[in-house]
Amino acid sequence: EKRTKSCGGGSSSEKSIRKFDFNPGGICTIFQVSDLKNSPGPGKRELRIATKQALQLLQDNYPEFVAKQVFINVPWWYLAFYAMINPFLTQRTKSKFVFASPSKTAETLFKYISPEQVAVQYGGLSVDNCDCNPDFTVSDPATEMTVKPGTKQIVEIIIYEKCVIVWELRVVGWEVSYGAEFVPDSGEFSVNIQKPKKMSPLDEPVVHGTFKVSELGKVLLTVDNPTSKKKKLLYRFKIDLLGD
């Protein structure tokens, strides 16, 4: 499934347009995200201005280039506000609006943007201006999985050579247990890398791990979801081979 590429939006629309590449496979659409988490109430002037700017982008300035206008962390009252202006919108504009409540923000963004390019505060893995994990960048793809309610998900990474493996993992919203171990092919006892730990929404959003592997085997990353809600699991890893 090919995801829509993002190249900016909002007040930087003109700058984004200059980055367009109309060759096959090039960037030629704008994907704009507006966060309403700390938005003022429905009667506030700032909200009306922000909505007007979004509509100008969609209907007046660059309607042919805007793929989607996504509103995230949408409070209940904003949908009522949108219902009031809905009759004044063209059908084409309506089709480009997407609304996501706080609990659906990450899931909605992942439909259009790869998780490694979504900022950490919105459920992804991207961290701007931070050297907290220099092993990974937005160019390193992440794997996205769904952990069903009351189930355990095990990520199995097969190790074929002596190496150092590094990984990062997150479960959006946590409320799960996370653990890591190495199981050697020799049949000897497994090595606990990270004892199972309950992760709460207040814990660090992304965990990082590293392990030096001196024999063949597999690394198991385990996520246990005891809740009644499905959880979104993201992970990625790199392997650096060791010399003889």
pLDDT tens, the chain, 244 aa long: 333 333 333 444 555 555 655 566 655 577 888 898 887 666 666 666 666 666 666 665 555 667 788 999 998 888 888 888 888 888 888 888 899 999 999 999 999 999 999 999 999 999 875 555 678 999 999 999 999 999 999 999 999 999 999 999 999 999 999 999 999 999 889 999 999 999 999 999 999 999 999 999 999 999 999 999 999 999 999 999 987 6
Same domain, 27 and 102: yes
The CATH number of whichever domain residue 88 belongs to comes to: 3.40.525.10
The CATH number of whichever domain residue 228 belongs to comes to: 2.60.120.680
Domain boundary among 91, 113, 135: 113
Q: Give the per-residue pLDDT at 140.
A: 95
Number of structural domains the chain divides into: 2
In a domain, 108, yes or no: yes
Q: Give the per-residue pLDDT at 7.
A: 34
Q: By residue range, what is the domain housing residue 207?
A: 143-241
Same domain, 93 and 154: no
Tell me if 229 sits within 8 A of 149, measured CB to CB.
yes
* DSSP strands (E only) in the chain: 30-35, 66-72, 97-99, 143-147, 151-159, 163-171, 176-184, 191-199, 207-213, 217-225, 231-241
Same domain, 53 and 108: yes
In a domain, 132, yes or no: no
In a domain, 93, yes or no: yes
Q: Give the per-residue pLDDT at 1.
A: 35
Q: What is the pTM of this model?
A: 0.80
- Residue 179 β-bridge partners: 222
In a domain, 136, yes or no: no
In a domain, 69, yes or no: yes
In a domain, 131, yes or no: no
Q: Give the per-residue pLDDT at 169.
A: 97
Residue 225 has which token pair?
Answer: 């979801």
Same domain, 76 and 159: no
Residue 76 has which token pair?
Answer: 């209940």
Rounded to 5 degrees, what are φ and ψ at 137?
-135, 180
Q: Tell me whether strands 30-35 and 66-72 are parallel, antiparallel or unpaired.
A: parallel
Q: Give the per-residue pLDDT at 147.
A: 97
Same domain, 24 and 101: yes
Same domain, 98 and 157: no
Same domain, 101 and 22: yes
Same domain, 156 and 70: no
Q: How far apart are CA 167 and CA 161, in angstroms?
A: 17
In a domain, 120, yes or no: no
Tell me if 177 sits within 8 A of 199, measured CB to CB.
yes
